[in-house]
Amino acid sequence: MKHLLVVAHGSRRAASNDEVRSLCQQLEQLDHPFSEIACAFLELAEPSIPEGLQALIANGATEIVVMPYFLSAGRHVTADIPAEIEPVRQQSPQVKISIAPYLGAAEQIGAILLKQAVAGA
């Protein structure tokens, strides 16, 4: 049972958090190998990363991929997200939790950015 947890920064603006939740629901419609796709937030919104992981574990996850929904490898990606995950790893050592490369590392990002910029010009 491999589950996916999309982790976003979280915003004071509720609509922005809802946008992430909505994206995760849309992902479920696409072709993917995960038993379940959920989202969590580093700060300012719920569920937190530990809460999100624990909910997936309660649903039977034996393997969880954490996908940082971030564009650059700042402190949040390199330090804060791993630090949030670590206690859950220790509490549930039977669950394999891995961290995927953050979204901004995807090679298609540049092409999408240009397409979006041209459309908005």
- Residues within the interface to a second copy (CB under 8 A): 2, 4, 6, 8-9, 11-13, 15-17, 19-20, 23, 26-27, 30-34, 63, 65, 67, 69-75, 78, 98-106, 108-121
Q: What is the closest distance, in whole angstroms, from the C-beta atom of residue 84 to a second copy in the complex?
A: 17
Q: What is the closest distance, in whole angstroms, from the C-beta atom of residue 9 to a second copy in the complex?
A: 8
Question: Are 5 and 58 spatial neighbours (Cβ–Cβ below 8 Å)?
Answer: no
Question: Are 84 and 49 spatial neighbours (Cβ–Cβ below 8 Å)?
Answer: yes
Residues 6 or more apart whose CB falls under 8 angstroms from that of 107 comprise: none
Q: What is the closest distance, in whole angstroms, from the C-beta atom of residue 79 to a second copy in the complex?
A: 9
